[in-house]
Amino acid sequence: MFKKILIANRGEIACRVIRTAKRMGIATVAVYSDADARAPFVQMADEAVHIGPSPAAQSYLIAEKIIEACKQTGAEAVHPGYGFLSERTSFAQALADNGIAFIGPPINAIAAMGDKIESKKLAKAAGVNVVPGFVGEIEDTEHAVRISDEIGYPVMMKASAGGGGKGMRLAYNEQDVREGFEATKREGLNSFGDDRVFIEKFILNPRHIEIQILGDQHGNVLYLNERECSIQRRHQKVVEEAPSPFVTPKMRKAMGEQCVALSKAVGYFSAGTVELIVSGADPSGESFYFLEMNTRLQVEHPVTECITGIDLVEQMIRVAAGEKLALTQDDVKIDGWAIENRVYAEDPYRGFLPSTGRLVRYNPPVKGWTGDIRGVDGVRVDDGVMDGGEVSMFYDPMIAKLITWAPTREEAADKQITALDKFEIEGLGHNIDFVSAIMQHPRFRSGELTTGFIAEEYPDGFSGAATSPDLIRALAAIAAFAATAEADRARQIDGQLGDELEPPLAWQVKIGDAIHDVAFEGEDVTVDGHSFDLAIEYTPGDRLVEAEVNGEELAVKLAKTRMGFKLTTRGAIHQARVLPASIAPLAAHMIEKTPPDLSRFLLCPMPGLLVALHVQVGDKVEAGQPLAVVEAMKMENILRAEKSAVVKTVNAKAGESLAVDAVILEME
């Protein structure tokens, strides 16, 4: 077994590998860029080596720096995590040339499966179902249009070396191909150094299901069941679960055996994932097609670990050291259900715009896990950030992964909702409310999933999860209770209410357009005449309130505002204006400020690079017309006109780096 390994990655996956290595008694080495100098994974490792500036292309992607760090520290092997160098044959070969073990698959398997075009040819030759499409070189946009017309719309354009949702465009017609083909090429070149694109038929009502593969260097290959990864946004996975609510035992066996056969055909060992697209329109569940094979650990690997009890990182290390797998296919079981939500630095209330900046507050529901695959009471957080840390524009926007395990799918989803309510993040936008809303959504609970789930269920964007009248009344009671505590503190500190005067026991709480009457009598509380059994503790300044409402647990994130509180729970934000009932009628006539109309400005929605500007002064534009393209966090974002107008002024030019809310252009 290795005595020391180096992790050629950063963030949560670096922390993840370090934890398992430490449990195995293996020393660890971290490498880090300028941006990560104070990151948790650097502190966790036994040794750390600085490898360059913040941009990945000048640090984490330079194989020579990784190899030099191995030589400097005496690391015998390298775990690449995912992304970065994990699927580069040149990196694996360079390690081999220097006598350093690669904790991953053999070089020939990476080469065979890493190229999406070549992997489809190999899969087809091996008798694996592949999606109909054009597998070959595409010359230019006109060629792409001709191919798409022949395949039949809708089609998917994909960068050959792509992954992680980058370098992908869905086209429903010729105009979509003309708009998206060059952008797909650019994303492929910028993210993966390869601008080749292939086009394939887009399967209607598709489910994204993947099979976890594990093999050793002695010819043994197993499948560790499946994961359902259908809930995606812009082809980036958001929610993953294992097992799939769609897959039957017969289907699981057919998929697994086919994926094992493909793996054996390329001499695969280590952990890997075969991704499949399944037609949800086929009730037999037999219409599944090969998409690609990811020759590395997947972001969503924890859900497989939770239901099988197998530490995949440990198995990768043991396989790389030459050990045989200590289990057979019959040993692989399904125990319970696991769900993973990816917590991203993006604002779902503003069209999922990327958000960067400092984590003013970061307090997960449980601390980063220390080895128990199922976490604490079935709640596990894989993260690589800390209070006061920064989410940088240089890397992926994922903050953490929240994983829950329970005996049933419904219980695992309920655990997600409760844990998300307790997950505190301040300082930047995040998607906690959004994934909580998904966990509560009737369609998710039914298991009727497709990759179009988010687009279909949130066509007009996200404004918060649906809320019941009972929950609103409970929030009104909590807001009034907090206001009582704040008033009592004011009385004690500065005598605002006088020495003798107690805080009011009757309040009016306005949430949305509704006004609720709240009254306290001893330990009883009534809201609009409805009695509540409310057990709550609140000290002025608390950011998280854990209450029991009629015997049910409710966690509410609370922030004080000028006239009340902002309450966040169950996937929605509620602004509560709280006033003593005695003065509330007077305050009802107060004029509330309305925000200025900024619709005539095209504002940069996030810090990024202005890649292209499609209009100039005097141009008439129509609603939905592309105006500019901004690149942020390795993704291109097309900014479109909100309404018909004429361009009055242009304030930026292509190639400029823009701050959030920078004015790109103004309409007349």
Give the catalytic positions in this structure: 292
Tell me how far apart the terminal alpha carbons of the chain are, to the nearest angstrom: 69
Q: Among residues 299, 512, 477, which one has the least CA distance to residue 397?
A: 299
d(CA 72, CA 54): 21
3 state SS of 604: coil
Look up tokens 């602004």; give the residue. 575
Spatial CB neighbours of 567, under 8 Å, sequence gap ≥ 6: 475, 478, 479, 556, 557, 558, 573, 574, 576
573 in helix, strand or coil? Answer: strand
CA–CA separation, 224 and 213 (whole Å)? 6
Tell me whether strands 47-52 and 27-33 are parallel, antiparallel or unpaired.
parallel
CB-based contacts of 55, cutoff 8 Å, min separation 6:
33, 394
Tally of CA atoms within 13 A in the half-sphere of 95 that contains its CB: 29
Q: How far is CA 183 from CA 167, 172, 562, in A?
A: 8, 16, 45
- Distance between CA 308 and CA 281 in Å, rounded? 29
Q: 44 and 16 in contact (C-beta within 8 Å)?
A: no
Choose among 384, 370, 369, 349: nearest CA to 419: 369
158 neighbors 130 (Cβ within 8 angstroms)? no
User: Is 243 in contact with 217 (CB distance < 8 Å)?
Assistant: no
Specify which residues 33 forms β-bridges with: 52
Half-sphere exposure of 312 (CA within 13 A, CB side): 29
Strand partners, 574: 567
Residues 6+ apart with CB under 8 A from 571: 417, 420, 433, 434, 435, 436, 437, 439, 440, 464, 465
- 């489910």: which residue's tokens? 207
φ, ψ for residue 327 (rounded to 5)? Answer: -140, 160
For residue 203, give the DSSP letter: P
Place of tokens 């220390």: 370
Are 206 and 242 in contact by the 8 Å Cβ rule? The answer is: no
* C-beta separation of 664 from 639 below 8 A: yes
- Two tokens at 510? 């306005």
Q: Are strands 77-79 and 101-102 parallel, antiparallel or unpaired?
A: parallel
3-class DSSP assignment, residue 404: strand
Q: For 521-657, where are the alpha helices, taking DSSP H only?
A: 584-587
* Closest residue by Cα to residue 66 from 103, 107, 16: 103
The 10 Å Cβ neighbour count of residue 383 is 22
Q: 75, 17 in Cβ contact below 8 A?
A: no
- Report the distance separating Cα 369 and Cα 313, nearest Å: 14
